[in-house]
Amino acid sequence: MEKTKLLDLLATQDKPYTVEEWMNKLNLQSSQEIEDFMRVIRECENEYEITYTKKNKLVLVDQSEFVRGTLSINPKGFGFVDHPKGSLYIANHQFNGAMHDDEVLVKPKVYADLSAEGVIIKVVKHNTKQLVGTWKKNRIQVNDIRIYHKIELVESDMSHCVFGSQLLLDIVSYGDTLKVKLNKVLGHVNDPGMDILTLLHNHQIPMTFSDKLMEEVDQLPTKVILDPSEKRVDYRDRQVITIDGEDAKDFDDAISIKKLDDGFQLDVHIADVSYYVREHTELDKEARRRGTSVYVIDRVVPMLPHAISNGLCSLVEGEDRLTLTCSMKINQMGEIETYDIHPSIIRSSKRMTYTNVNRMIKKDKSALNRFEELIQMVEDMHLCAKTIRQRRRNDGSIDFVSFESKFTLNSRGEITKIEGRVQGEAEMIIEDFMICANQAVAAHLRWLEIPALYRVHEAPDKKRFAEFSRIALFWGVKVKHEHLTPKVIQKLISRFEGKDEFLIVNDLLLRSMSKAKYDKECSGHFGLALEDYCHFTSPIRRYPDLIVHRMLRKHVFTQHHNELVNDELLVEQLGFECSNSEQRAVESERDVESMKKAEYMMNHIGERFDGIISSVNKFGFFVRLPNTVEGLVHVSNLPGYFEFDADRYTLVKRGSNIKYKLGQKVRVKLKSADKIKQTIDFVVD
């Protein structure tokens, strides 16, 4: 019997049966038939696809009381297991040997207040293969504080290690004690950049490319060579530009635009990475494993080698480049009236930056004189983007404010300044154009019923949004969430614009939103108020975009429909993989930022700052500074006894009128900061 047949039988059974009952139902009589049946059962058990009930009856894991998901351990010791239907809290004494990022089988328990906890029953798959540790007098201290296991070093020569050496360790065997052996010495703890490198390793971010992969890269051409059998639209005589940040190295999108009597002709050109990164190659396998490029403060860990990401596929000024173009007619209402998606070739006429385009929009004379040939183009871009943006707002697209950090470093890699990153008009123009292209491509793929990865954003979780509604009442705003739509949330944000608590409300709303993910089903993007959406515009740095390009090439441009069934199965699996890869990258970027912010604040102990209370809990409140740094005022550092008013999100001092509430301005003094623990502690000044 094949495994798929057994799983199908279990999925369609009217009730569960024991192994012996299944043997009778299937009329298995020969020893060979029974042996084959038991082999398939063991195989399914080992892959945790089936399990047993209390009465020893076979059931699918998905149909049992157990859930399967990935364990995320908080540095404070507890954990959560995310699974398709939600998230389970896991106390540290319920880990049962599981590690951070392990795929696990969990027995859940839901309480009357709908809170859910779980106990880990089995580890399905260990996803952590390597650790980074510090050599300390004949012992290893693992750098990742989420790893609580004992460490035993085996088969390793440590004679060349010194106190503080940073070690990359391969895990040989798992259990309460992890057996590890030395892979290589990364450097010393005091080496510049070693802290970031260690964190990236902790998050299992691959740092190098294999020799076998680089051999493939060496076989690629260094210049664009047109294939005469391919039909590409030639845009090399058009005014085409790229617009990116000053420090950008890879340029995967370019635009050209023409004003019409009744709107605009907008062409979005995206690097044709799928032409070079072919299916089943080492390049493709590694890109899939990484899923995305990772951007941290002073470096990029690319999804693809630099020869591709910064070279052959980067839309650099003055060089021919192969692209896929989404050519759109944008009418005067900002709507995509018509579109066409096709292979193309471009030659970027100018590498522009957000700063210079913003200066041109603000009519800066030096910028206008410097880029005189682009004045009309920038004006057309600005006008087109404004019509698109107004249409999106009318449709209910939510204008969340991104509260990102900008770091300034000196020549030694030390952070000298942290400030909020401001999004200018040029940044919004490119975002508007890219959203249009992503929308058009998604609609095209859905209409043709082509297998693809869509970018899906579901409506907010009702429980979390109900919690936000209670907070909004605190500010005198009543939220009706029975018929929750993007327009409702957009109007809500607008009510707080210009107020001190605006950024706090913005953040709280963001936290109430569902997490965006990749999926084979085109089920809409709530935040953008779009029925159709995918990621098409960044194939150099995101694997889902590369897959969308590949599906267009296979099933639209060349029509290889014989692979449709396989590709449908592929994109279903890739949705889960790419969502996980994205989350891993987000967590690593967040951890690096938290660490470097704490390190920066270590030089400001005792200094005073003005901030705003961004969240309140029974153990204290967090204060956000204008430079995006956030720290905790612990309740133990407040004079007197404070009680937490959960309904008003306020800490109130017993026997007085002193209180600390969400959105309140407060002056604090920095008490301490810990780079390793990524903590910043304030006291009220």
Find the range with the poorest average confidence among 213-217, 368-372, 461-465, 680-684.
Answer: 461-465
How many alpha carbons lie under 13 Å from residue 361 in its C-beta half-sphere?
19
Confidence of residue 115 (pLDDT cuts 50, 70, 90): low
Confidence of residue 23 (pLDDT cuts 50, 70, 90): confident
Secondary structure string (H, E, C) spanning 538-558: CCCCEHHHHHHHHHHHHHHHC
As a whole number, mean pLDDT of residues 29-36 equals: 85
Predicted pLDDT of residue 609: 97
57 lies in the same domain as 154: no
As a whole number, mean pLDDT of residues 252-273 equals: 97
467 lies in the same domain as 503: yes
Q: Tokens 């500074």 correspond to what residue?
A: 625
627 lies in the same domain as 532: no
Judge whether 223 lies within some domain.
yes
CB–CB of 358/248 below 8 Å? no
Confidence of residue 138 (pLDDT cuts 50, 70, 90): confident
Q: Which of 482, 512, 542 is the last residue of a domain?
A: 512
pLDDT exceeds cutoff 60 at 114: no
117 lies in the same domain as 136: no
Judge whether 200 lies within some domain.
no
Judge whether 208 lies within some domain.
no
Q: Which of 31, 62, 93 is the last residue of a domain?
A: 62
259 lies in the same domain as 399: yes
* 3-class DSSP state of 308: helix
Predicted pLDDT of residue 306: 95
376 lies in the same domain as 241: yes
Predicted pLDDT of residue 111: 64
Judge whether 205 lies within some domain.
no
Tell me the residue range of the domain where 680 lies: 605-684
Judge whether 186 lies within some domain.
yes
Predicted pLDDT of residue 31: 85
Predicted pLDDT of residue 481: 62
pLDDT exceeds cutoff 70 at 54: no
Predicted pLDDT of residue 64: 65
The mean predicted confidence, pLDDT, of the chain is 90
- Dihedral sign, CA of 179, 184, 189, 195? negative
pLDDT exceeds cutoff 90 at 106: no
Question: Measured between alpha carbons, how far is residue 607 from residues 9, 214, 407, 634, 672 in Å?
Answer: 68, 50, 20, 18, 10
* 3-class DSSP state of 153: strand
Predicted pLDDT of residue 482: 60
Judge whether 507 lies within some domain.
yes
- Percentage of the chain exceeding pLDDT 90: 58
Predicted pLDDT of residue 500: 76
pLDDT exceeds cutoff 90 at 56: no
pLDDT tens, residue by residue, 612-669: 999 998 899 999 999 999 999 999 999 989 999 887 889 999 988 899 998 899 999 9
Judge whether 203 lies within some domain.
no
Find the range with the poorest average confidence among 30-39, 254-263, 319-328.
Answer: 30-39
* 3-class DSSP state of 140: strand
45 lies in the same domain as 113: no
The residue that leads in pLDDT, 513 or 52, is 513
445 lies in the same domain as 488: no
pLDDT exceeds cutoff 80 at 480: no
pLDDT tens, residue by residue, 212-223: 999 999 999 989
pLDDT exceeds cutoff 90 at 148: no
Q: Which of 497, 512, 527 is the last residue of a domain?
A: 512
Predicted pLDDT of residue 444: 97
How far is the C-alpha of 166 from the C-alpha of 187, rounded, in Å? 5
Range with top average pLDDT, 46-55, 97-106, 297-306, 490-499: 297-306
Residue 213 main-chain phi, psi, to 5 deg: -65, -45
Predicted pLDDT of residue 112: 55
Predicted pLDDT of residue 260: 96
231 lies in the same domain as 348: yes
Predicted pLDDT of residue 70: 86
As a whole number, mean pLDDT of residues 12-38 equals: 84
Confidence of residue 84 (pLDDT cuts 50, 70, 90): low
The residue that leads in pLDDT, 280 or 53, is 280
Predicted pLDDT of residue 496: 82
333 lies in the same domain as 406: yes
Find the range with the poorest average confidence among 125-129, 285-289, 366-370.
Answer: 125-129
As a whole number, mean pLDDT of residues 9-24 equals: 82
Predicted pLDDT of residue 503: 80
Predicted pLDDT of residue 18: 87
The residue that leads in pLDDT, 557 or 7, is 557
Q: Which regions of 91-146 does DSSP assign to beta strands (E)?
A: 103-110, 116-125, 130-135, 140-142
pLDDT exceeds cutoff 70 at 308: yes
Amino acid identity, residue 55?
K
Predicted pLDDT of residue 399: 83
CB–CB of 384/377 below 8 Å? no
613 lies in the same domain as 506: no
As a whole number, mean pLDDT of residues 525-537 equals: 95
Judge whether 209 lies within some domain.
no
Predicted pLDDT of residue 502: 82
pLDDT exceeds cutoff 80 at 456: yes
451 lies in the same domain as 392: yes
Among 195, 189, 174, smallest CA distance to 100 is for 174
As a whole number, mean pLDDT of residues 23-37 equals: 85
- Dihedral sign, CA of 515, 521, 522, 524? negative
